[in-house]
Structure 1
Amino acid sequence: KLGFNCTPNLVTRRPMVRVRLLPRRDLATLRCDAIATSANRGLVGNANPNFWRFTGRDNADGSVHRAAGRGLLAACAEVAADHADGTTRCRTGSVAVTPSCGALYTGLVIHAVAPDGAYAVGLQRWWGRRQWSGGGGQSAIHLDEALPAGEASDLLQRTYAAIIGAADTHDVRSLGLPAIGCGVLGWKADEAARLALREFAAYSASTAHRGRGIERIDVALYSDDAFAAWSSHLRRKLGPPESNADDADANSSTAECYDLQRLE
């Protein structure tokens, strides 16, 4: 059992779903049963390195694909296209699951496609619908259609719900993910934290009498701003962290551990 500095509830014998916030962590280095990465609809990773949103920044999906090697792209290519354009392998708000590859420390990769954040929606309204050529033989990938802010938030929450659902279906006990949508897609970290915690809490409540399910959710927060936003939101909703998540994989004295039962 992967360690927490937290005492299990032996009275109810329910899985104690805990969230660990891991500062300055690369998603590709997490040791979990499954990791979820923020993918595009074609599941092509960073096939177009000159895409304008990549300028001057790294992203979780790129890190995962670098660690996994070409095997992960090959696994993604096995996912059948489900759209008339012949390039969409995973619709926005949905996930696709593939085996792990290469140097990843996980068994499964959950590829999650989040909607565009507020600034991306604004740019699309200015420029209209656009597409980019994947290069290297990859098909063109369309950007998402612009959505009203409320609908986009609902779709981001559905993306987090789809991640949790896929992990549960595959009997995952430990799940790692980044702040989905907060990189090149432009979502604010505090909004993502709010929507993610809503889905984490709903799952925790639903597993109350099952005696199985996800026990640990690790959130790899690469930037200090993202960590501060998630920490602030979880502290408001759950109180201070129970203790530092100080097992070897947390790899940081500033990692934080929260028990979702506090919301019940």
Structure 2
Amino acid sequence: MQIELVQGDITTLTVDAIVNAANNSLLGGGGVDGAIHRAGGPEILAECRQLRATTLPRGLPTGQAVATGAGRLHARWVIHAVGPVWDADDDRSELLAAAYASSIRVAIDKGAMSLAFPAISAGVYGWPITDAAGIAVRTIRANDPGFPVTIVAFNRPVVDAFRAALSA
């Protein structure tokens, strides 16, 4: 399977689907979520509001993913995946893995042929990057979608953590 690691801004990639590290509300937030909503424009938020008004009135559960159009991004879809908040006293690793696996399933269902992931839960949700990278790489490999996957790291420490996980 082909996994590429790049350092940069996920909103600038030209791929079929970009994964958004979303919150349960789907209505935007900080970090990657806010960047995707800003770069993608109001179309993404409108689709998220429609999901909340119809099929997801309570929001998207942690560990699950759902797709919208990509608005002004260089992608066809944004796959909104809700990762868990880190808690040292409660192992939520299965939920983090589920967010990656659900994203891959949604991408396949949409007919995507390329997919880009951020480091889900490793920003404002506080997941330690070394652990988050290991879970991400193991889950992507275990759920090989049959097309290229790009992991987009925003900074050098994230690149280093994913490089180590890819080498393991």
Q: Which has the larger radius of gyration?
A: 1
> Partner amino acid for 2:40?
A
Alignment deviations for residues 147-179 of structure 1 (CA, whole Å, 9 cap, x no partner): x532x1111111111111111111211101101
Distance 2:66 2:41 in 1: 18
Of 168, 188, 200, 2:108 maps to 168
Aligned residue pairs total 167
Matched with 1:69 is 41
More helix as a share of residues:
2
Matched with 1:219 is 151
Q: Aligned to 1:43, what secondary structure does the other structure show?
A: coil
Q: Aligned to 1:79, what secondary structure does the other structure show?
A: helix
Distance 1:226 1:170 in 2: 28
Matched ranges for 1:64-213 at <5 A: 64-80=36-52, 86=57, 88-102=58-72, 104-118=73-87, 148-150=89-91, 152-204=92-144, 213=145
Matched with 1:34 is 17
Distance 2:137 2:159 in 1: 14
Distance 1:190 1:160 in 2: 16
Distance 1:185 1:163 in 2: 18
Contact kept? 1:97, 1:109, Cα under 8 Å = yes
Distance 2:13 2:22 in 1: 17
Matched with 2:4 is 20
Structure 1: where are the runs of 5+ without partners? 1-16, 47-53, 120-147, 205-212, 238-264
Deviation beyond 4 Å, 4+ runs, structure 1: none
Alpha-carbon shift at residue 41 of structure 1 (Å): 0.7
Q: Aligned to 2:143, what secondary structure does the other structure show?
A: helix
Q: Aligned to 2:133, what secondary structure does the other structure show?
A: helix
Distance 2:76 2:146 in 1: 15
Alignment deviations for residues 39-77 of structure 1 (CA, whole Å, 9 cap, x no partner): 01110102xxxxxxx5xxxx1111111111111110101
Structure 2: where are the runs of 5+ without partners? none
Normalised by the length of structure 1, the TM-score is: 0.60
> Partner amino acid for 2:161?
A
Contact kept? 1:115, 1:181, Cα under 8 Å = yes
Alpha-carbon shift at residue 80 of structure 1 (Å): 3.5
What is the percentage of aligned positions where both structures have the same residue? 32
